[in-house]
A and B are shown apart, each in its own frame.
Chain A
Amino acid sequence: KNEVEQSPQNLTAQEGEFITINCSYSVGISALHWLQQHPGGGIVSLFMLSSGKKKHGRLIATINIQEKHSSLHITASHPRDSAVYICAVTGNQFYFGTGTSLTVIP
């Protein structure tokens, strides 16, 4: 069993839809990260959070430490949001989920 589980694995949405990606983890953590990876490989850090909620533009990330669960929300999705979204946690090392592949159709 992976230390970090994401759902769904794949997601297709129409432009403008509200999107939610979920992440559950089983290890003790000090922080949780949401990362975005575009085709070609480069990874961009979207959020690092250890409690509560963070917002950046159309992106919102929440974490519930007691339930060991985090969600990434995208409001008013756009085709340029198409990417793989990876949840990662830091405890004694970095543990990554396998990613959620998002495709937003115009």
Chain B
Amino acid sequence: DAGVTQSPTHLIKTRGQQVTLRCSPKSGHDTVSWYQQALGQGPQFIFQYYEEEERQRGNFPDRFSGHQFPNYSSELNVNALLLGDSALYLCASSFGQGDTEAFFGQGTRLTVV
């Protein structure tokens, strides 16, 4: 079992560009959540996908959008990148909508220059 896998591991983008990050959940998991972790801070919840729909959303602007595919994998898209979007983006998968243990990926380190 590969666990939660994220790609790419590192990424450098220019202000104003768009970026797509990808996440494959742990086998058997159907729920994917995305988090942004700025340097020295705890992760901040972006949104959660279940059954291909956004179920919950944190306090992030519409520039942050996502998608979940029928195989439960997910993408996080960020448009019109700002320098402040530089962070580690973490994906976590779990099963169902209740309180079950979440498994995290290694993250994608995004640097916006």
Q: Which of A71-106 contact B (CB under 8 A)?
A: 86, 88, 90, 92-99
Q: What is the predominant secondary structure among interface residues of chain A facing chain B? A: strand
The CA of A33 and the CA of B79, in the complex, are separated in Å by 31
B107 contacts across to A, CB distance below 8 A: 41-43
Interface residues on A, range: 20 to 34
Interface residues on B, range: 20 to 34
B20 is an interface residue with CB less than 8 A from chain A: no
Task: Judge whether A94 and B42 touch: CB under 8 Å.
Answer: no
A31 contacts across to B, CB distance below 8 A: 99
Task: Judge whether B45 and A93 touch: CB under 8 Å.
Answer: yes
A7 is an interface residue with CB less than 8 A from chain B: no
Task: Judge whether B90 and A50 touch: CB under 8 Å.
Answer: no
Which residues from chain B sit less than 8 Å from chain A, CB to CB? 33, 35, 37, 40-45, 48, 56, 58, 88, 90, 92, 99-107, 109
Which residues from chain A sit less than 8 Å from chain B, CB to CB? 4, 30-31, 33, 35, 40-45, 48, 50, 86, 88, 90, 92-99
